[in-house]
Amino acid sequence: MQEINSKIAGISFNQDVISTLNAGDELLLERDPKNKFDRNAIKILTNEKKHLGFVNRKLAFDVALAMDSGVPVSCIVAQVTGLGFKTQGVNIQLKLGVA
């Protein structure tokens, strides 16, 4: 099993959803191979299918390769950052090899 800690990329466009998140919440990962900016893009969604952002582009190739190879990949909210500020962020933990 491999654990990766990162931030959600592109979350500044989805600030309204962040207030519903808590540390430990499970998130969904969805490959987005038709993404015009990155064919390795992986969307990060809430369990209600609300789009939060993407796996960091620097990590997306390896995570996409794992997902495409059938390796289970899970994602949880590690921390919501910037509470009380105009722009908030979300730290995540990805686990490769664990469903």
pLDDT truncated to tens, each residue of the chain (99 aa)?
Answer: 899 999 999 887 778 888 889 999 999 999 999 999 999 999 999 999 999 999 999 999 999 999 999 999 999 999 999 877 778 899 999 999 976
CB atoms within 10 A of CB 31: 17
Amino acid at 28: L
Q: Going by CATH, does the domain composed of 2-96 fall within 3.20.20.30?
A: no
**Cα(36)–Cα(23) distance, rounded to whole angstroms?**
31
Domain spans in the chain, listed from the N-terminal domain onward = 2-96
pLDDT score at 76: 98
**Cα(99)–Cα(17) distance, rounded to whole angstroms?**
24
Q: pTM value? A: 0.92
